Structure 1
Amino acid sequence: MTPELGDVQGVKAAGWYEDPEASDLLRWWNGSEWSETEFRAKPEDSALLPI
């Protein structure tokens, strides 16, 4: 599963995104796959998230 499509190649740039398996966490997307080890708590105000 990949983050929402958005850039020229059709894949979202590397960055922190809502974890597709745990919506209360952010997970690192390296541009081609999800990290298996890098997670962060999601901020309470999701408007602060870069999308």
Structure 2
Amino acid sequence: EPIIEDADFIRQAAEVAPEGPWSETTWSEWIGKVKDATGRKGKALFMPLRQAL
């Protein structure tokens, strides 16, 4: 079973995840929404997402 260290953050990120279809701008748009929703940036933003994905 996977271990997600920051489940609340991942839950917030999932809530603002875009529906398909995805394009070349989907990642940057989603990251912008996650950043706005959580106030995180840099390593605190990207590392938990990388681990969860």
TM-score, with normalisation over the residues of structure 1?
Answer: 0.24
Which structure features the higher share of strand residues?
Answer: 1
Return the structure number with greater relative CO, CA threshold 8 A, min gap 6: 2
- The structure with more helix, counted as a fraction of residues: 2
TM-score (norm 2): 0.24
